[in-house]
């Protein structure tokens, strides 16, 4: 089973905030082609929680042992354990790609303010509390971003990361432990514009902060596919920088089209992809760099397919945004982060 078909989606029903879970158990069942994590949260209101806990435990053990023929249970793991509400939220939100639920609408939206929890992997890379670039959370410790974000400063100690849809107040902040730039990247150039950033302390996942899915090398995006880019970048080339995260819906443009003489005339290499409209109007802009270009795949699971990299101006006719193509660098990401 891949990352996207994890417990996350099947557990949503248990994630109601008004529940105050005190116990949950996990079953790891597997055979050759199926592995499932199942979490059930219990809330015990009575005082004799321990008695109920051991009763539940017995029932589970008995049933699982009877059903061993089709369910292989890892009995070395405790069936029941106590967790705090924060830990339970962390586990329930540890899957990737659960974000905005796409309504069945086909109209293209103008850039607009994003709703809380729509893009929970979006991070802001900052120096002295000032936003410089976007980034995407790909695990509890790693962010994916653009290498050119660090042209200004490569020292991890000057950088901090914030999460949540508003820059101020931020929902969560972290310090940076290390920055790994692609070996092929040269400052102020566009090739190899990818970097991974390791946080000093892992984030605690919640419904508002969790990771995006990374596509496999063979994940294909097609021209005309609907994608979204998000960020706190400028609303126009010299325009104002918003405090609230914004999103805009774009379409993938083929590299052939993007390399036409009147567009980028060959500057778009196989490690890049274009998204936007040749008619202009919708685009990322300064300050969005490093941020995610995402696509919804299967049941609203979001994959980061591009990293905001470059463009001529913003939202200009024949000058769409150019993104680092994540699948092209998938093995590089794995080699640096083990994700
Ligand atoms: N280089 C810009 C930055 O550092 C992002 C450029 C994206 N431009 C565009 N038109 N899509 O924030």
What pLDDT does residue 2 have?
36
Distance 322 CA to ligand 1 centre (A): 8
Segment among 4-18, 22-36, 79-93, 247-261 with least mean pLDDT = 4-18
Query: What is the Cα–Cα distance from 121 to 21, expressed in whole angstroms?
Result: 25
Is the pLDDT at 183 greater than 60, yes or no? yes
HSE of 278, CA atoms in CB hemisphere, 13 A: 14
Q: Parallel, antiparallel, or unpaired: how do β-strands 292-297 and 301-310 relate?
A: antiparallel
Instruction: Find out whether the beta carbon of 193 lies less than 6 Å from any atom of ligand 1.
Output: no
SS3 3: helix
Query: What is the Cα–Cα distance from 51 to 201, expressed in whole angstroms?
Result: 37
Q: Which helix (H) or strand (E) holds 124?
A: strand 122-127
Longest CA span, the chain: 75
Question: Domains plus CATH for the chain?
Answer: 4-92 (no CATH), 112-337 (2.40.10.10)
Query: What is the Cα–Cα distance from 23 to 243, expressed in whole angstroms?
Result: 38
> Active site includes 256?
no
Residues 6+ away with beta carbon under 8 Å from 85: 20, 21
Query: What is the Cα–Cα distance from 226 to 282, expressed in whole angstroms?
Result: 13
SS3 53: helix
CB atoms near residue 86 (< 10 Å): 11
**Mutational test site, ligand 1, from 289, 293, 307, 317, max ligand atoms within 8 Å of CB:** 289
Residue-wise pLDDT tens digits, 117-138:
899 999 999 999 999 999 999 9
Instruction: Find out whether the beta carbon of 323 lies less than 6 Å from any atom of ligand 1.
Output: no
Question: Which pTM value belongs to this model?
Answer: 0.86
Whether 267 and 233 have beta carbons less than 8 Å apart is answered as: no
133's torsion region: left (phi>0), alpha (psi -120 to 50) or beta? Answer: beta
Instruction: Find out whether the beta carbon of 314 lies less than 6 Å from any atom of ligand 1.
Output: yes
Q: Which of 37, 118, 193, 288 is catalytic?
A: 193
Query: What is the Cα–Cα distance from 225 to 118, expressed in whole angstroms?
Result: 19
Tokens of 285: 């802009």
Instruction: Find out whether the beta carbon of 290 lies less than 6 Å from any atom of ligand 1.
Output: no
CB atoms near residue 168 (< 10 Å): 9
Band of pLDDT at residue 60, cut at 50, 70 and 90: confident
Residue-wise pLDDT tens digits, 66-119:
665 566 666 666 667 777 889 888 988 999 999 998 865 444 335 788 888 899
> Active site includes 151?
no
């Amino acid at each position: 089973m891949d990352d996207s078909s994890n417990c996350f989606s099947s557990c949503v029903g248990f994630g109601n905030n008004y529940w105050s879970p005190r116990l949950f158990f996990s079953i790891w069942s597997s055979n050759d082609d199926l592995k499932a994590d199942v979490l059930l949260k219990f809330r015990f209101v009575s005082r004799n929680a321990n008695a109920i806990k051991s009763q539940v435990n017995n029932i589970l053990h008995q049933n699982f042992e009877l059903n061993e023929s089709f369910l292989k249970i890892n009995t070395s793991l405790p069936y029941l354990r106590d967790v705090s509400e924060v830990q339970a939220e962390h586990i329930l939100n540890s899957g990737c790609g659960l974000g905005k639920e796409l309504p069945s609408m086909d109209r293209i939206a103008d850039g607009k303010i994003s709703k809380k929890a729509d893009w929970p992997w979006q991070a802001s890379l900052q120096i002295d509390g000032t936003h410089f670039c976007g980034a995407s959370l790909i695990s509890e410790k790693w962010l994916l971003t653009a290498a050119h974000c660090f042209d200004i400063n490569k020292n991890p100690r000057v950088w901090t990361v914030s999460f949540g849809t508003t820059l101020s107040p931020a929902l969560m902040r972290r310090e940076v432990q290390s920055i790994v730039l692609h070996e092929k990247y040269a400052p102020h150039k566009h090739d190899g514009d990818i970097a991974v950033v390791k946080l000093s302390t892992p984030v605690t996942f919640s419904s508002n902060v969790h990771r995006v899915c990374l596509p496999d090398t063979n994940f294909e995006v097609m021209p005309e596919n609907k994608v979204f880019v998000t960020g706190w970048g400028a609303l126009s080339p010299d325009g104002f920088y918003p405090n609230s995260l914004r999103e805009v819906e774009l379409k993938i443009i083929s590299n052939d089209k993007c390399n036409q003489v009147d567009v980028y005339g060959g500057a778009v290499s196989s490690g890049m992809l274009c998204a936007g409209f040749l008619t202009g109007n919708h685009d990322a802009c300064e300050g969005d760099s490093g941020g995610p270009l995402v696509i919804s795949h299967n049941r609203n699971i979001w994959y980061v397919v591009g990293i905001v990299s470059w463009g001529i101006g913003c939202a200009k006719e024949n000058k769409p945004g150019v993104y680092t193509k994540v699948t092209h660098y998938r093995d590089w990401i794995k080699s640096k982060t083990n994700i």
